[in-house]
A and B are shown apart, each in its own frame.
Chain A
Amino acid sequence: MRLIIDGIEFGYSSTPVLKDITLDANGPQLLSIIGPNGVGKSTLIHCINRILSPNKGTVLIDGDKVNDISLKDLAKKVGYVPYSANDTFPLSVVDTVLMGRHPHATYKSLDKDLDIVYDTLRLLDIEDLAMRNFDELSAGQHQKVMLARGLVQEPEILLLDEPTSNLDIKHQMEVTRILRDLSLEKGILVIMISHDLNIASKYSDTMMMLFGGSIFAIGTPSEVITKENIKAVYDVESDVIDVHGRPHLIMLDEEFDSTNKPLSPDTYAVKEKR
């Protein structure tokens, strides 16, 4: 599986969002896209799976232009996990995840499709939710169900728009690790947008930092997560320490840090009621 993005540009009327993005990526690997809000991370992902058509440049999957691949065949190669889920009508978790089988489904495939759905639910540890209604679940459970729906597409490239944004720290680590393990086991290219730089740095093989619609930095986490890059892109002072060979970011706010000291326990404004 090889994804080539060749000089794509995209904009809404006169406002450019993406400028000359070029990338050559192979699976298996976990590639994280990071960058401030509004730099074009989601737009880039949407250009890969043809939700948006770039104004210039091409996207190639294994040498084929995405525009030349039928939508159904593209869905067999590229999966997508959106940022938020829709729940206008009550639908069970199984039925929601089963939708992801659409590109593969035939009139006789239900039993096999269900096996794949239940295997995936088990993998994400949400099998007990199978017959629950999607709209009864927590935001974190929603994200896992959405992830399951993307996985049952059995894609060779999986695109995820902030897949861990609603999860607690344990589940953030768990889901990101599953993504990384899956990329290795199944040889797929996982491309994930993330705002949690430390989680992304901990599990990613490659990181891509977008800024102003262009690639500001790309490489291993150590190459991308540096004090200088963080200052230039996010305008935030930081320290970067090494944890087991991977960069770990500590955010600094010198003005606040120097004037505000933690309150002593006696002066807590809110006390626990005894």
Chain B
Amino acid sequence: MAGKEDYYRAVRKKWLFVLLCAVMIAVALILALSIGMYEIGFADCYRILIEHITGNITDPYADDIVINTRLPIALFAIIVGAVLALGGAVMQTMLRNPLADPYTMGVSSGALLGASIAIVLSSTLPLFNEQWVRIVMAFGFSLIPAMVILLFSFKRRVTSTKIILIGIAMMYIFSAIVQLIMITASEETLAEIYSWRVGTLALTTWETIPIPLAISIVCGAVLMFHYRRINVMMAGTKSAHSMGVDPERTILVEITIVSLMTAAVVCFTGTIGFVGLVGPHIARLFVGSDTKHLLPAAAVFGGLFLLLANCLARVSGEYGLPVGVISAIIGCPLFIFILIRMRRKSAWR
């Protein structure tokens, strides 16, 4: 039957996009390992990786840089990009709002407030492990908006508009408190809060990765498992209800998962913008809006994008720039260009 074949052909093209992004991640990963102050050739990176795996290390200095400094940063860039873009795709689809992203709920401003309080406290109180206190505080505070929504749901019906409005209100409250802290803070504290706010991957070590990776894999798998009900939400609450999906429960469950996943990475990196908002839109231009293909496509594209943006960030300026700055400066014009070129048509037909 011609009709069904057309559909399957379109689906194959969508999976091809996912595969292509995955292959490009593998290539870009080696590129990321070769970029930095200490020059290591593209081919040498392969050699160093193979040598490390086989245990036959000939250049311990290069091995240390590639394996212990650059590899965790590159891997974390992929994880963070994938998490933010996947979270953005879910939020946009479920709330039927193209401006939604994983930060819509106030996750990032919550994390910033938590981190700011930790930074201020660390300058006045001797705490056991400054960095981990900061991470734990950021994680805890970033989940507050989700808790507020859950509490709200006991009293009133939750709709996508209310979620967005509550998220914005939380964002303003958190920002106001952070401003207050910044006004009264010392210069040193101010600089630390500021650098956390911009978002960077530069502080990543191997210790950073296991917890966010585990949380992301579990949350990502649950979201993928729920792709059908997230998809049906696109039809609107009444229609979703009549197709067997409880819109209110779906919003609460998926928002909690997205918040948890986003909090797990944001507490380590600070606010990295753009990927979560625009990543899903770019993926959508190639694979359409059906979540079965959009969710994996957004995740792999987000991972690839942030990995490349981080490569660029590392070679920009004298000591490199925060990846959050680079991803927005490069990504936004690229996105507008794609929007103009593709109009409403799929980019992939």
A interface list, Cβ under 8 A from B: 46, 49-51, 71-76, 78-80, 82, 86, 88-92, 94-96, 99-100, 102-103, 105, 111, 114-115, 118, 121, 127, 130-131, 133, 135-136, 149, 153, 159
Contact = CB atoms under 8 A, between A and B. Distances in A.
B289 A130 contact: no
Residue among A50, A71, A79, A96 facing the most chain B CB atoms (10 A cut-off): A71
A86 B241 contact: no
Contacts of B346: 90, 133
B280 to A, nearest CB: 10
B59 interface: no
Given A75-B244, A111-B4, 8 more contacts: A80-B238, A86-B236, A95-B290, A118-B3, A131-B7, A133-B345, A135-B344, A149-B239
Contacts of B109: none
A89 B10 contact: no
Contacts of A78: 242
B344 A118 contact: no
Contact of A89 (B7, B245, B289): B289
B96 A51 contact: no
Nearest to B10: A131
Contacts of B288: 90-92, 95
Interface stretch (B170-178, B226-234, B312-320, B331-339): B226-234
Nearest to A121: B3
A99 B235 contact: yes
Interface in B125-151: none
B92 interface: yes
A153 B10 CA distance: 24
Contact of A51 (B6, B242, B290): B242
Contacts of A91: 234, 288-290
A131 B348 CA distance: 13
Contacts of A90: 284, 288-289, 344, 346
13 contacts: A49-B242, A78-B242, A86-B236, A88-B98, A89-B93, A89-B284, A95-B288, A95-B289, A102-B244, A105-B228, A115-B4, A118-B4, A149-B235
A94 B6 CA distance: 10
Which size class do B's interface residues fall under? 20 to 34
Given A82-B236, A91-B234, A130 B6 contact: yes
B123 interface: no
Interface string B265-299: 00000000000000000001000111000000000
- Identify which of B4, B239, B288, B344 gathers the most chain A CB atoms within 10 Å of its CB: B239
Contacts of A136: 344
Contact of A71 (B4, B96, B244): B244
Contact of B242 (A80, A105, A127): A80
Q: Which of B231, B238, B246, B345 has the most CB of A within 10 A?
A: B238
Contacts of B4: 111, 114-115, 118
A52 to B, nearest CB: 10
Interface of B: 1, 3-4, 6-7, 10, 92-93, 96-98, 228-229, 231-232, 234-236, 238-239, 241-246, 284, 288-290, 344-346
Given A105-B228, A130-B6, A131-B6, A82 B243 contact: no
A102 B243 contact: yes
A51 B238 contact: yes
A82 B290 contact: no
B292 to A, nearest CB: 9
Nearest to B237: A51
A135 B346 CA distance: 12
A257 to B, nearest CB: 41
Given A86-B234, A88-B234, A114-B4, A74 B244 contact: yes
A232 to B, nearest CB: 31
Contacts of B96: 86, 88-89
Which 6 A-B pairs have CB atoms at the shortest separation, nearest pair first? A75-B244, A80-B242, A89-B289, A72-B244, A103-B244, A86-B236
Contacts of B241: 49-51, 71
Contacts of B344: 90, 133, 135-136
B323 to A, nearest CB: 28
B241 to A, nearest CB: 5
Contacts of B235: 86, 96, 99, 149
B89 to A, nearest CB: 10
B245 to A, nearest CB: 7
Given A89-B234, A131-B10, A99 B244 contact: no
Contacts of B92: 89
Contacts of A149: 235, 239
Contacts of B3: 118, 121, 127, 130
A111 B1 CA distance: 12
Nearest to A83: B238
Nearest to B98: A88
B239 A82 contact: yes
Nearest to A153: B243
B238 A99 contact: no
A50 B256 CA distance: 26
A178 B231 CA distance: 28
Contacts of A130: 3, 6-7
A71 B246 contact: yes
Contacts of A74: 244
Nearest to A91: B289
B170 to A, nearest CB: 24
Contact of B239 (A73, A80, A133): A80
Nearest to A105: B228
